[in-house]
Amino acid sequence: MQQRRIIGLAFLAALLLTSFFGVRVLHHRSRFATGVDETIRPWMNVPYVAHSYHVPVPVLLDALGLQPHPPDRRPIRVIARQQGRSEDEIMTTLQHAIDEFRKHPAPPRAPQPPGRSPGAPGRP
Amino acid sequence: MSLTDQLLAGLVSYGLPMIFGAVLIASAGIPLPVTVLLVAAGSFVAQGDLNLRWVIGLAISAAVLGDQIGYFLGRWGGGALLARTSRLVGGAEQMQKAERVARRWGGPGIFLSRWLFTALGPAFNVSSGITQYPWPRFFIWDVAGEAVWVVLYVLAGELFSSRVQALSTLLGDLTWVMVGLFLTFVFGKLLWNQTRSARRAPIEQPERVH
């Protein structure tokens, strides 16, 4: 009798587990299907953020004051440490650059040949 | 930073060695969120940062190697545990029954726990070792299951390369739904059998008395 009760409780626990994660799956499925933007996290590198938000990589590197070539592939947390800034600050800067680009999409700044002054056409 | 974030930052910084190390440790039984790592690796493949063949080859090798650690821990170190467990579940006879069930259903169980009920994988490794499930068969089912797991998750990451976090959360929750369904089925069947035998008992009892 006691064994049956324990199995019954285990059965109920398994049902609860299934229902809990089932509801989460439905919730996340709808978020996934609607294509909600990924939250920028410290593990991401700038090319991934650019890829995720469909923004040219140089636009984001430029916002952080980094050279566009070769593209910087370090995680945000490493960039923050090396620039002496907080991760939040870097992520906010990237978010602003993305928002600005989405408001006024413009081609990224072309790499400057040596000897030319900055501020050439193509600068957003 | 969360453990997931640290793992992913490691992937961004170190690439393939990080995949190998994390998958090996997770398969040996230390809980690490490696699903998201494989999905992220797929995304970096899509962006041209990692090579698909290397990612798949290394991840399968690491997973299989980690599983062997769990299996042999169960096989060589499981003696004391077996003696204790057998007392708890009703003696050597029950353990022999468990061994027979493991030999009969062990293969498909090992295969499915690699990619469908991934949360149960390490437990299956150790229990396969404890119940002396034949190693060559364990190895074959294991390689097949891990190959499905790695290819599925890496390709999913490659396909939805711009949504690593959303996809990982969805796949992680889906895995727990599958585990929940599996456990519901197992306990439901046990409960059904117990209820049926309890109903039969009062009918059989008077026959024994007379």
- Three-state SS string across B86-155, please? HHHHCCHHHHHHHHHHHHHHHHHHHHHHHHCCHHHHHHHHHHHHHCCCCHHHHHHHHHHHHHHHHHHHHH
- Report chain A residues whose CB lies below 8 A from the CB of B186: 14
Under an 8 A CB cutoff, do B166 and A54 touch?
A: no
Distance CA A57, CA A45 (A): 10
At residue B56, the pLDDT reads: 97
Distance CA B12, CA B141 (A): 32
Do the beta carbons of residue A79 and residue A66 sit within 8 Å? yes
Pick B191's closest partner by Cβ from A7, A22, A52: A7
Contacts of B161 (CB under 8 A, 6+ apart): A51, B42, B43, B45, B46, B47
* Touching B: A residues 23-42, CB under 8 Å: 24-25, 28-29, 31-32, 35-36, 38-39, 41-42
Under an 8 A CB cutoff, do B9 and A43 touch?
A: yes
Q: What is the mean pLDDT of residues B145-155?
A: 96
Pick the residue with more confidence: B55 or A109?
B55
Under an 8 A CB cutoff, do B5 and A32 touch?
A: no
Distance CA B162, CA A49 (A): 8
ipTM above 0.90, yes or no: no
Distance CA B187, CA A14 (A): 8
Residue of B nearest to A20 (CA): B177
Task: Select the residue from B168, B183, B193, B195 to test the A interface by mutation, using most A Cβ atoms within 10 A.
Answer: B183
- Report chain A residues whose CB lies below 8 A from the CB of B8: 41, 43-44, 75
Q: What is the mean pLDDT of residues B155-183?
A: 91
- The share of chain B scoring above pLDDT 70, in percent, equals 82
- Report chain A residues whose CB lies below 8 A from the CB of B9: 42-43, 75, 77-78
What does the mean pLDDT of chain B come to? 86
Under an 8 A CB cutoff, do A4 and B13 touch?
A: no
Under an 8 A CB cutoff, do A35 and B164 touch?
A: no
- Report chain A residues whose CB lies below 8 A from the CB of B188: 11
Contacts of B165 (CB under 8 A, 6+ apart): A38, A39, A41, B36
Distance CA B51, CA B44 (A): 9
Nearest to B40 by CA among A89, A26, A47: A47
Distance CA A29, CA B72 (A): 39
For residue B121, pLDDT beyond 80: yes
For residue A122, pLDDT beyond 50: no
Confidence of residue B117 (pLDDT cuts 50, 70, 90): confident
Contacts of A33 (CB under 8 A, 6+ apart): none
